[in-house]
Amino acid sequence: MGYTTFTGPLRSTSGFQVITRANGQDTVVATLGTGSPPSDMAPGSGTAGTGTIIKSSVTRNGSLIETRIVIDLTGLNGGGTAGDIIGVDATANCHFGRITAAVNGTIYAGFMRCLEVPTGSNADVDLYSATESTGTEDAAVSGLTETLLLNGGTWTLGLSQALTAYPAANEYLYLTSGTATAGTFTAGIFEIMLFGQ
């Protein structure tokens, strides 16, 4: 096998893949710098608040698939009742991404971490998945076919909590108010890490 040596940056607009080849079949063992996230990870239209930021990445490293989502809640509304969906006021499609086996693998572990304490609304934020993409802000997440992934309680800076359940393939991710505190978030950043295979 030959080697290629060069000087200068290696550039690509579509990322890089490291593969192994056995019996004429290529297997991807690492993916780097894929640019934009897969379309399945695109957040719903109900999360497009003023100042809201939702970014995600999916990285494959050997047999491990890491999904990282960072959410700035600024501009979204908390619900007036515990269990209400967080999103743009009275707007549908408030999910922040869809988990698929092809992109994210089968999720078997994960955690959620507070990078900035929520203000302006509820500091008690929970994480759910649901089979529907249409969840509406201020509507009860229980109106969907949902699974509680993490009952977060009141978040403090740097607090990291392991998920107690995991999203299944083709489920959408939602944040909900843990207690009844309506209002528009002026701050609040969370990181969600999911590990798949």
Q: Which domain holds residue 69?
A: 37-56+63-196
Q: What is the CATH number of the domain that holds 85?
A: 2.60.120
In a domain, 121, yes or no: yes
In a domain, 150, yes or no: yes
In a domain, 79, yes or no: yes
In a domain, 70, yes or no: yes
In three state form, how does the secondary structure of the chain look? CCCCCCCCCCCCCCCEEEEEEECCEEEEEEEECCCCCCHHHCCCHHHCCCCCEEEEEEEEECCEEEEEEEEECCCCEECCCCCEECECCCCCCCCCCEECHHHHCCEEEEEEEEEEEEECCCCEEEEEEECCCCCCECCEHHHCCEEEEECCCECCCCCEEECCCCCCCCEEEEEEECCCCCEECCEEEEEEEEEEC
In a domain, 139, yes or no: yes
**Higher-confidence position of 35 and 118:** 118
pLDDT in tens, 72-91: 999 999 988 999 999 999 99
In a domain, 28, yes or no: no
In a domain, 18, yes or no: no
Percent of the chain whose predicted confidence (pLDDT) is above 90: 76
pLDDT in tens, 10-59: 666 555 666 778 887 776 655 555 555 566 799 999 999 999 999 999 99
pTM above 0.85, yes or no: no
- The number of domains in the chain is 1
In a domain, 167, yes or no: yes
What pLDDT shows up at residue 8? 65
pLDDT in tens, 142-163: 999 999 999 999 999 999 999 9
